[in-house]
Amino acid sequence: MNLSNEEIRSKILEFLKTNFFLDTKATPLKDSDSFLQKGIIDSTGVLEVINFLQTDFGIEVLDSELLPENIDSVGNLISYISKKTETHA
Amino acid sequence: MAGAFKENGLEREDRVAIFMDNSWQCVVSIWGTLMAGGVFLVINPQTKTDKLRYILSDSDAKFLIGDGHLQSVFFPAAKGVAALAAIVISGKAPETDSASVPVIPFEDFTAPRPMSGNFCGAIPLDLAALIYTSGTTGNPKGVMMTHQSMVFAVQSIAQYLRLTEEDRIINVLPLAFDYGLYQLLMCVYLGATLVLEKSFVYTASVFKKIIAHQVTVFPGVPTVYATMIAQHAKTPLLFPSITRVTNTAADLPAHFSGALREMFPAALVFRMYGLTECKRVCYLEPELIDKKPNSVGKAIPGTEVYLLSPEGKPVAPGETGILHIRGPHVMRGYWKQPELSAKMLKPGPWPGEFVLCSQDWFKIDADGDLYFIGRSDDIIKTRGEKVSPVEVENALYAIQGIREAAVIGEPDPVLGESIHAFVTLTAPGALTERDILKQCLSKLENFMTPKKITIVGDLPKTTTGKISKKDLRARLINPRRDGNEPIK
């Protein structure tokens, strides 16, 4: 899979919109905004993110990768997804 | 900071609302308030505007200290709060200039300033904190705690947990939750070390901290342990530095013991029970955990408990009764709620003394150890039999593949109430509803077996991480997109 960062970003935002009722028009989300601080995801939400990474990108998230630097913002997710899909290819 | 409070007009017993993530700034705000003679209330940062406004108004908060990233929640909430004199903002700068009161940056508020004398002025009988707790119905209520009751509880808990100044406690629970708050208070009392985490969402990062800081005490709730056990089953987890593991807030399923022992081989496991109204009620000596895996033990040091029937008569060992608690840790009542307070606080044996009526059902065995049966309003009556949801939940937790379980009674024209179990799985498709039913039937009496089992993606939680049966019941009436869908 060779998606551009822009394509990955729009998939992430779409997922946040459907699953967490995020209205990016009313509350713009910057790439660096922490999901945790913004109250977007909590401990059950993180499981949905894992599920999303698996179904949409074929990424198996290891428990040891459950780190904010991989998951806690749109920007972090983009780099994590790019890294994981590269090694898979 | 205490000096800044004084300069800005804080008087003894004025309330300071702290709306922040678990952070050192939050800790400083708590102690700054106390040093100035104020009463602190920590509000969970997940709280939304309307509820925050309610709490600010209800408590007549004079100061609000908030994290900058939460300003879109707290600025609108602060509008119209009559008692409010100033907002202190930490981190991100304010993005609005329409606040009705002065907005002071945290750095300015904590800048060194000359101080003279002891200006706290509080005596042990004064209020130290309001701890807001969700009511079974409607709005949250502020539990009034005095300095002396909090200091007493800290000493009692530190004693039975066998804590010393050498301990390093990791706290992943919100400081707005008394279980989280007391980790901080105990560390200050003992001179021990607190490793303060914002949450348990990013588990790998929490585990790294445990190892890096050689943490010795891990306080958790069943959901935290369930998450860890599910991970442990895939890739083993091992925390040899931990010597004490504690559980409260909800019953720790007995079958967790094996996995807990594998993950924490050096730890004593404490099963505890408490309610915000007296902080902690009882604990089981960890040496008894195999002998009495379902008990929450005896009253904490310096306190006593007993069971009474709804008519107020003593209850014999083995029979179910309502738990009553007597000791210096009992609250002063609910803030500005005398009627609700009177429901929970009954006259005690001595003039002017009050005993806390927990409204929870317990059994006591011949040794005097306690067993939680259920909330008095939670017991399900089906086919004329009383069923404790906890008992059914324990049976569900014992089924491999189930991560969480919650059982409620649904009105049923024939049965009175029928038992409806909601479960989440460790992995999608791990079990079908028929599998679960089959296993339940092999563990529970017929009348206790759920009539209906629903596998869901998640279970609604209160802000303190407990499964919210109230929200679960609401979902039955209004199924929503977010979570009530079976896992495909």
CA B73 → CA B48, B118, B335, B344, B401, distances in Å? 6, 36, 24, 33, 39
Between chain A and chain B, the number of residue pairs with CB atoms below 8 A apart is 56
pLDDT level of residue B487 (50, 70, 90 thresholds):
very low
Token code pair at residue B336:
């500005």
Task: Classify domain A5-88 by CATH number.
Answer: 1.10.1200.10
Q: What are phi and psi of B91, to 5 degrees?
A: 80, -125
Going by DSSP bridges, is the β-strand pair B321-326/B282-283 parallel, antiparallel, or unpaired? unpaired
Give the per-residue pLDDT at B296: 96
Quick check: B53 pLDDT over 80? yes
Give the per-residue pLDDT at A75: 96
Give the per-residue pLDDT at B191: 98
- What is the tens place of the pLDDT at every residue in B350-394? 999 999 999 889 999 999 999 988 766 677 877 656 677 887 898
Tell me which residues of chain A have a pLDDT lower than 70: 1, 21, 43-44, 87-89
Partner-chain contact A66 B200, CB within 8 Å: no
- What is the tens place of the pLDDT at every residue in B405-450? 999 988 876 666 789 999 999 988 889 988 898 888 777 777 788 9
- Asked if A71 has any chain B CB less than 8 Å from its own CB, the reply is yes
Helix, coil or strand: residue B374: strand
The arithmetic mean of pLDDT across residues B296-316, rounded, is 95
Q: Name the minimum distance, in Å, from the CA of A1 to any CA of chain B.
A: 25
Task: Report d(CA B85, CA B100) in Å as an integer.
Answer: 9
Q: Which residues of B touch A48 (CB under 8 A)?
A: 457
Give the per-residue pLDDT at B485: 43
Give the per-residue pLDDT at B414: 62
In this prediction, what percent of chain B has a pLDDT beyond 70? 93
Give the per-residue pLDDT at B488: 30
Chain B residue with Cα closest to A20: B482
Partner-chain contact B234 A42, CB within 8 Å: no
Give the per-residue pLDDT at B482: 43
- What is the tens place of the pLDDT at every residue in B86-143? 999 999 899 888 788 999 999 999 999 887 666 778 999 999 999 998 654 447 889 9
Taking each helix axis from N to C terminus, what angle separates B433-443 and B389-397, rounded to the nearest 10 degrees? 110
Give the per-residue pLDDT at B385: 60
The arithmetic mean of pLDDT across residues B186-210, rounded, is 96
Domain B145-374 matching CATH 3.90.700.10: the answer reads: no
The listed CATH number (3.40.50.920, 3.30.300.30, 3.40.50.11750, 2.60.40.10) that belongs to domain B378-477: 3.30.300.30
Chain A residue with Cα closest to B203: A66
Task: Report d(CA B369, CA B363) in Å as an integer.
Answer: 8
pLDDT level of residue B473 (50, 70, 90 thresholds):
confident
Quick check: B272 pLDDT over 90? yes
Least CB–CB distance from A66: residue in B69, B203, B465: B203
DSSP state of B298: E
In this prediction, what percent of chain B has a pLDDT beyond 90? 68
CA B66 to chain centre: 22
Lowest mean pLDDT among A32-46, B204-218, B269-283, B338-352: A32-46
Give the per-residue pLDDT at B375: 67
Partner-chain contact B202 A68, CB within 8 Å: yes
Give the per-residue pLDDT at B479: 53
Give the per-residue pLDDT at B137: 45
The arithmetic mean of pLDDT across residues B477-487, rounded, is 47
Partner-chain contact A39 B46, CB within 8 Å: yes
Quick check: B193 pLDDT over 50? yes
More confident residue, A68 or B463: A68
Average pLDDT value for chain B: 90
Taking each helix axis from N to C terminus, what angle separates B222-234 and B203-212, rounded to the nearest 10 degrees? 90
* B34-38, B224-228, B438-442: range with highest mean pLDDT: B34-38
Task: Classify domain B2-122 by CATH number.
Answer: 3.40.50.980
Predicted interface score ipTM higher than 0.90: no
Task: Report d(CA B146, CA B129) in Å as an integer.
Answer: 7
Give the torsion sign (CA, B216, B244, A65, A47): negative
* Chain A interface, best mutation among B201, B228, B403, B471, by max A CB count within 10 A: B201
Chain B residue with Cα closest to A17: B482
Question: What are the residues of chain B with a beta carbon less than 8 Å away from any beta carbon of chain A?
Answer: 21, 45-46, 67, 69, 72, 198-205, 223, 227, 231, 234-235, 428, 457-459, 461, 465, 482-483
* Host H or E run for residue B77: helix B71-78
The arithmetic mean of pLDDT across residues B324-352, rounded, is 95
Q: Which residues of B touch A55 (CB under 8 A)?
A: none
Q: Which residues of B touch A71 (CB under 8 A)?
A: 202
Give the per-residue pLDDT at B341: 95
Task: Report d(CA B119, CA B70) in Å as an integer.
Answer: 31
The arithmetic mean of pLDDT across residues B458-483, rounded, is 76
Q: Which residues of A touch B201 (CB under 8 A)?
A: 36, 41-43, 45-46
Domain ranges of chain A: 5-88
Domain ranges of chain B: 2-122, 145-374, 378-477
Widest pairwise Cα distance in chain A: 37
Give the per-residue pLDDT at B136: 46
The arithmetic mean of pLDDT across residues B163-183, rounded, is 96
Q: Name the minimum distance, in Å, from the CA of A66 to any CA of chain B.
A: 5
B378-477 matches B145-374 in CATH topology: no
CA B410 → CA B47, B391, B407, B447, B482, distances in Å? 29, 17, 10, 14, 21
The arithmetic mean of pLDDT across residues B9-25, rounded, is 96
Partner-chain contact B69 A37, CB within 8 Å: yes
Partner-chain contact B205 A71, CB within 8 Å: no
